[in-house]
Amino acid sequence: MLTRVKSAVATFVEGVMPGGGGGGGGVDLPGAPEKFPYSRPEFLGLSPDEVECSADHCVRPIVIMKESKRLPWFTGYAEVINAGKSTLNEDQACCEVLAVKRRPPGSSPASSWGNVARRRSSLPNGEGLGLREELANTDNLTFHYWALFDGHAGCGAAVVASRLLHHHIALHLQEVMDILCTPDLQPPTCLGEEHARTYLNPTSQRALTRAVSLRGAAGAPDSPRVPPTRFFAEKKVTQESLVVGAIENAFKDMDVQIEKERAVYNISGGCTALVVVYVLGKIYVGNAGDSRAVIIRGGEVIPMSREFTPESERQRLQFLAFMQPHLLGKEFTHLEFPRRVQRKEVGKRMLYRDFTMSGWAYKTIQDDDLKFPLIYGEGKKARVLATIGVTRGLGDHSLRVYDSNIFIKPFLSCCPEVQVYPLTQYQHGADDVLVLGTDGLWDVLSNQDVAESVTCFLANCDPDDPNRYTMAAQELVMRARGMLRDRGWRISSDRLGSGDDISVYVIPLMHGNMLD
């Protein structure tokens, strides 16, 4: 087994792994139909011939939208395929404006999919979807949605998530619509039971009793078994936390759906997911993986996500392995050492750390310490169980350590980290933007590089040109890809460009203010 692990690691260092992309494991159900056929993002409007041309690994053409008004807020988008790492572009993107209607009484969540209306085609820039309109119309909740999915070991999971994740978000927002869309809910922003009795109408009171079950209180508002008032005040739930919870649960439901449908469809690999939801005056950024979102406001860079990698999540992974050592298959150790331990070092002291430590300390080496480390390598070459370089995302249910029966999925979390930006609390200029990018962008450009590029580019564009954000996205992709020189893609004579798939959104924040 140790020889197989070493072979797998060596193969990864060379940049190729059986099954393609970032991990082992392969396609489930070879020959089974795909749930959705491979394509490029729908909003690009590409013909089959154009999709084929975009997949040229030698030329690597940068693909942009034909019409700037196809996306809300004049959002800019650009993408480019990798330099040969995988046959297809494993990135996927989605952008929608959706209107969620109240769920009919007694209906099940599954029957409510029809209560979600796509608005992007009929209202390309979100006209008329003002915040006051959302609050006034208690039968609808409108939200804007942007998402990037970076696939690995195949593009199946990324394609499925790009088609369905926003529907899961809509369903979970629908569950709390009676709270989110109640005009009575002003001025308070906290939704403890006491606030519900004071500010919500009877319908919303009943909805709150159903939705906010943090205290385990049973029965309808008129139930004779009502906990004492002092107990109600112990837990308060904000509107913001309800939206965050909807996004978190949507990710989990999406992952469960991918797992279940593997029994019917060929859904290959897994994917990272970076999602932006604008609703009720706030931007919510949910991230599971190593894509990144930053706000550029007045030249200032505001990080809106952080990458989840084997190094950044070392302690979580080590704790899980410590609590459930059977997941390591008797071949790995949860401890970390500065280098591989050799048999001749048994009985000697070496630096180590485990899930309880952020620093290092000495321990006496034992036979168990000769096992392969749970996290091997550092930086971009760090791998979980010598197999995969990301620790959060969707899919990967069949992913295993190369040539073994050790599954990786228990260590891969589908739960996103959600950060919130109160958009309507600030006035934004035409050059203030939210930039989303897959790791192909950030592998070669820093936050400051991106901010300087976007700020400089937009400063030299006509402020009234609706294509300026698309051109800014194109500029970022071009800078990260570089130019083809000496049979390689280079940013400069001494710097390699990104050989990965690159997908970028540039979202102007000023248009969000216009909805208020």
Residues in the chain: 516
**Helix axis angle, 239-261 to 156-175, nearest 10°:** 140
Query: Is 26 within 8 Å of 398 (Cβ atoms)?
Result: yes
166 inside domain: yes
Q: Give the Cβ contact number of residue 46 at 10 Å.
A: 18
Residues 131 and 255 grouped into a single domain: yes
The bridge status of strand 383-384 relative to strand 483-485 is unpaired
- Cα(498)–Cα(439) distance, integer angstroms: 9
Confidence of residue 514 (pLDDT cuts 50, 70, 90): low
Residue 499 parent element (H or E): none
185 inside domain: no
- Assign 72 to helix, strand or coil: helix
337 inside domain: yes
Which is more confident, 220 or 432? 432
* Mean pLDDT value of segment 434-448: 96
Residues 206 and 337 grouped into a single domain: no
Parent domain of 211: 190-237
- The CATH number assigned to the domain holding 149 equals 3.60.40.10
Residues 249 and 333 grouped into a single domain: no
Q: How far is CA 387 from CA 23, 37, 65, 107, in A?
A: 5, 27, 36, 43
Confidence of residue 455 (pLDDT cuts 50, 70, 90): very high
34 inside domain: yes
Q: Tokens 């109408």 belong to which residue?
A: 201
196 inside domain: yes
Residue 221 parent element (H or E): none
From 411, 434, 458, give the residue that closes a domain: 411
11-47: per-residue pLDDT in tens? 433 333 333 333 444 445 667 788 889 999 999 999 9
The bridge status of strand 282-288 relative to strand 116-118 is unpaired
DSSP state of 358: S
From 376, 411, 446, give the residue that closes a domain: 411
The reported pLDDT for the residue numbered 200 is 44
Residues 147 and 263 grouped into a single domain: yes
Query: Is 215 within 8 Å of 198 (Cβ atoms)?
Result: no
Q: Tokens 């931007």 belong to which residue?
A: 283
Residues 175 and 231 grouped into a single domain: no
Q: Determine which of 27-36, 218-227, 388-397, 486-495 has the lowest per-residue pLDDT on average.
A: 218-227
Residues 399 and 485 grouped into a single domain: no
Cα dihedral 423, 282, 118, 473 in deg (nearest 10): 40
184 inside domain: no
Residues 405 and 468 grouped into a single domain: no
The reported pLDDT for the residue numbered 492 is 84
Q: What DSSP line would sit under 310-352, residue for residue?
A: TTTTHHHHHHHHHH-GGGGTTTEES-B-SSPPPGGGTTSEEEE
Closest Cα partner for 450 from 283, 304, 301? 301
Residues 109 and 121 grouped into a single domain: yes
Answer whether residue 247 shows pLDDT above 80: yes
386 inside domain: yes
Residue 116 parent element (H or E): strand 116-118
Query: Is 171 within 8 Å of 200 (Cβ atoms)?
Result: no
474 inside domain: yes
Side chain identity at residue 447, one-letter code: N
Residues 171 and 137 grouped into a single domain: yes
Residues 423 and 284 grouped into a single domain: yes
- Assign 42 to helix, strand or coil: helix
* Mean pLDDT value of segment 381-391: 93
Residues 25 and 143 grouped into a single domain: yes
Count up the domains in the chain and report the number.
Answer: 3
Residues 232 and 245 grouped into a single domain: no
From 411, 444, 461, give the residue that closes a domain: 411
252-292: per-residue pLDDT in tens? 999 999 999 988 988 999 999 999 999 999 999 999 999 99
308-324: per-residue pLDDT in tens? 999 999 999 999 999 99
Average pLDDT, the chain: 82
* Mean pLDDT value of segment 57-80: 89
Q: How far apart are the first and last CA of the chain?
A: 60
DSSP state of 48: H
The reported pLDDT for the residue numbered 231 is 52
- Cα(322)–Cα(319) distance, integer angstroms: 5
The reported pLDDT for the residue numbered 28 is 56
